[in-house]
Structure 1
Amino acid sequence: MSVGHGFDPSILREYDIRGVVGQTLGPKDAYALGRTFATVLRRGGGSRIAVGYDGRLSSPVLEEALVEGLLASGIDVARIGLGPTPMLNFAEASAQDVDGGIQVTGSHNPRDHNGFKMVVGGRPFFGADIQRLGAMAAVGDWEEGSGRCESRAVFSAYVDRLVEGLAGIADGDLAGLRIGWDAGNGAGGPAVELLTSKLPGEHHLLFTEVDGCFPHHHPDPTIEANLADLKALVARDKLDFGVAFDGDADRIGAVDGTGRVIWGDQLLSIFAEDLLLRHPGATVVADVKASRTLFDGIARLGGYPVMWKSGHSLIKSKMQETGAALGGEMSGHVFFADDYFGFDDGLYAAVRLMAATVRLGRSLTEMRSAMPAMFDTPELRFPVDPARKFAAVEEVRMRLTETDARVVDVDGVRVTDDDGWWLLRASNTQDVLTARAESDTAEGLERLVGRIDAQLALSGLARA
């Protein structure tokens, strides 16, 4: 057995491996991950893996060390180069000779962070699987071997597959669309350039040059401040709508023609309506943070809504379990499985948004205006002692079982009453509790937040 490697425990997250380069994460970690992941893959009967990386300054060095480790444990490697995480997922899903994939990416995190997202056999690799990697690496439980390495060009094929999201819609029906695209200097920029050159309509692009310093704004489209440039572009050129992506382009953000943000659950409601026109009775999975109007709307349209745990790996797994055709969460991850591969892809979601406006016969601005006006909080996040994080939520759940409260406890507690609903859950990735509430009225929202505070106080905690 080889000499092992100890990962900093903080980098072994629920959904990926992620740390600060030069502090908690470096090339030795990448090499050890390669040795360990290759071992898992080989013992499961796999023989080849696809590897890609994003545009962060540290990504090429980490990718090199990762590949070295994979080869040393006897796995063949298909290197696909710089690109968005969905391109890596495409390379894994579309090739019969590829058994898994690893993307070197820091996603939407600060520019000095980086990490790895993994997939095996089309399924996310997360949770206990990641902890197992840490245990195996610590004792050097690695296979030995000498894998072969090749470069594999998938960029053009990936973009061509994105265009298929418009299948069945005449170019003439799309020709009048005028759309803004903000790549945020992330890894999706070159794909946005090629994609929009193949799409009908008029397209205005921002920040498509890959730059790991992110000179214009941070690539996280769930933070409204990061959409300021896109809003300005839409207003200046009087565009129909705009889309934006995170650093590895697996998440989407959007604004309508008036600059209003279309949040993740609102986007999902549009995609669900479009889907259910063509696939009546389809199942749609959304996370516990999503609006009540989303779940009610899916049911009203004849679909089957499933509320599930937050986290892109968890949503994807639930979709596979239930056979859902569509899934998504507030963070902008959207998964299409009706005529796509079922993984989250911000660029494909943008194409499907174009298709939805045509098939539904309404502009994005009209659809946003027709949505119920709700009063809600942003996601409220506050630090908590790690030892109390899950225990406090369980205390709240136990207290609520002694009442007639309507509680969904698939991920923390989501409580519905006459004022609306409120949610309290423990983050899987940080030592924080998160809360959210939604009501039809401002007064109702205030009362809901008061109930959250009251429950926290009973557990000796407070939002601070």
Structure 2
Amino acid sequence: MNYNFDPTVLREYDIRGIIGETLGPDDARAIGRSFGTLLGRAGGKTVAVGYDGRVSSPMLEHALVEGLTASGCDVVKIGMGATPMLYYAEASSKEVDGGIQITGSHNPPNYNGFKMVFQGRPFFGADIQKLGELAAAGDWADGAGAVSSRDIMGEYVERMLEGLTGIDPAKLSSLKVGWDAGNGAAGPALEALAAKLPGEHHLLFTEVDGHFPNHHPDPTVEENLADLRTLVAEKNLDFGVAFDGDGDRIGAIDGEGRVIWGDQLLMIYAEDLLTTQGDTYQGATIIADVKASRALFDHVEQHGGKPLMWKTGHSLIKSKMKETGSPLAGEMSGHVFFADTYYGFDDALYAGIRLLAASARLGKSVTELRSAMPDMLNTPEMRFQVDEVRKFPAMAEITERLTTNPDSSVEQVNATDGVRVNTKDGWWLLRASNTQDVLVARAESDTEEGLNRLLAQIDEQLSLSGLERGESVGH
């Protein structure tokens, strides 16, 4: 029997679709058959399966497990929880060879999807396309795998608490922190974690609700931090932490309600890692994506680290960390990866713990750490619609022009992922999204005039390729 997926569903970093339109139980079953077949052929046998709090997730889990067992794989069901809890189940057990989390991440409630890990590595790009090829050809293994369940929440929480090992308890017990789970899948683990943390902790929206009744669970959108801001102000807390729908991306605000963006969080984590861990991580490579501020790369260098700019995308960053042995990496989108004393996957709950640890170890409040950062003027991430067939060719034309015939203001062009162009005014970025038919732009300068000149350069390059920077669209 062969099976064809809707062409929009198999994406670069994960599988994602709209329930009842492009994604349903038959798709989940086919994903299970294909993934299980690939794993079996690679010598694997056991897959951990978890799911987020969306209304459609239990239905997809049921079908996915049917598909996996029909391919001969054994399944360990870990139940509802954050994506990093599934990653933990895979990384911490020698018996588990792969993992699949059913999650719609930060997308609207009618979306859902799958994030996968395969024998300890991210499963993305060509791997995901291979699932589609196996399904289309009906090239599936047959078998009858066993199903068991495992409750790992307690073990997962205890493992995260190890992020505070060796820190003076008095420093931790003086901290006052607000947490916003946004009705996402991280809520139950957050409740269990906060109950064991030293200090004072105030929790918002930990009840899992796939309709997200309080606010949309994307902590990189400032309006979604309003409730957390109010909490931090009313209770006079040191800082606040928020999560996305499946708990793999962190957002934060300091005690004054200022947003601490993804690259600024990485500045704090990098300073902690490079300066308080003796010689262990001196000179370590710290990775950030091409959207990150120049201030971050400078900060890593100032503290003796080696900054590395890499492509946007959590799977791409995880792969680069393995290749370089980097102990720490992060993205503007709030994915942060710790591989020093943790597993190298993106876990927003653990990143929250490490923010407590950094503040205590560095002996500075999160507000002080945020205040010490240089004031850069930067645009938000601007995303504008470009026809799918045009986005990559347009980027190729722009890259070609800038590298072969740059104008005198261009000091350096980095083509790691799209183009990041340095000028005396600062830098600007233009790249094609791997997940949507959009181009993404960003610019950063020390002055308003400089920022305007950078934006004018972006517009000029777009115009030369017959495009314009239209209305910004959402994720």
Which residue of 174, 177, 191 maps to 1:176?
A: 174
Aligned to 1:335: 337
Aligned to 2:239: 241
Q: CA deviation at 1:387?
A: 1.3
Aligned to 1:294: 296
- Equivalent residues, number: 462
Is the Cα contact below 8 Å between 2:44 and 2:119 reproduced in 1? no
Structure 1 counterpart SS, 2:212:
coil
Percent of residue pairs identical: 68
Alignment of 1:289-328 (within 5 A): 289-328=291-330
Q: CA deviation at 1:402?
A: 2.2
Aligned to 1:217: 215
Is 1:413 the equivalent of 2:426?
Answer: no
Cα deviation, 1:62-92, whole Å, max 9, x if unaligned, reads 0000000000000000000000000000000
Q: Name the CA distance, whole Å, in 2 between partners of 1:122 and 1:191.
A: 23
Aligned to 1:374: 376
Q: Name the CA distance, whole Å, in 2 between partners of 1:238 and 1:118.
A: 40
Cα deviation, 1:357-393, whole Å, max 9, x if unaligned, reads 0111111111111110111100111001111101111
Cα deviation, 1:391-414, whole Å, max 9, x if unaligned, reads 111111111112353110010000
Aligned to 1:24: 22
Letter in 2 for 1:247: G
Q: Name the CA distance, whole Å, in 2 between partners of 1:371 and 1:24.
A: 44
Letter in 2 for 1:217: H
Q: Name the CA distance, whole Å, in 2 between partners of 1:257 and 1:55.
A: 30
Structure 2 counterpart SS, 1:5:
coil
Q: CA deviation at 1:121?
A: 1.7
Letter in 1 for 2:447: T
Q: Name the CA distance, whole Å, in 1 between partners of 2:60 and 2:93.
A: 24
Aligned to 1:461: 467
Q: Name the CA distance, whole Å, in 2 between partners of 1:387 and 1:86.
A: 34
| Gaps in structure 1 of 5+ consecutive residues | none
Which residue of 189, 198, 201 maps to 1:200?
A: 198
Which residue of 383, 395, 418 maps to 1:393?
A: 395
Aligned to 2:117: 119
Alignment of 1:418-429 (within 5 A): 418-429=424-435
Structure 2 counterpart SS, 1:11:
coil
Q: Name the CA distance, whole Å, in 2 between partners of 1:29 and 1:402.
A: 46
Letter in 2 for 1:333: H
Aligned to 2:346: 344
Cα deviation, 1:154-208, whole Å, max 9, x if unaligned, reads 1100011111110111221101100000000000000000000000000000000
Which residue of 67, 70, 84 maps to 1:69?
A: 67
Aligned to 2:274: 276
Aligned to 1:9: 7
Q: CA deviation at 1:12?
A: 0.5
Structure 2 counterpart SS, 1:438:
strand
Runs of 4+ in 1 over 6 A off after TM superposition: none
Is 1:450 the equivalent of 2:452?
Answer: no
Aligned to 2:363: 361
Q: Name the CA distance, whole Å, in 1 between partners of 2:151 and 2:236.
A: 37
Which residue of 417, 428, 445 maps to 1:439?
A: 445
Aligned to 1:33: 31
CA RMSD for the aligned pairs? Answer: 0.6
Q: CA deviation at 1:221?
A: 0.2
Task: State the TM-score, normalized to the length of structure 1.
Answer: 0.99
Cα deviation, 1:118-165, whole Å, max 9, x if unaligned, reads 001221100010011111111111000000000011110001111111
Is 1:52 the equivalent of 2:58?
Answer: no
Q: Name the CA distance, whole Å, in 2 between partners of 1:87 and 1:415.
A: 38
Structure 1 counterpart SS, 2:383:
strand
Letter in 2 for 1:13: R
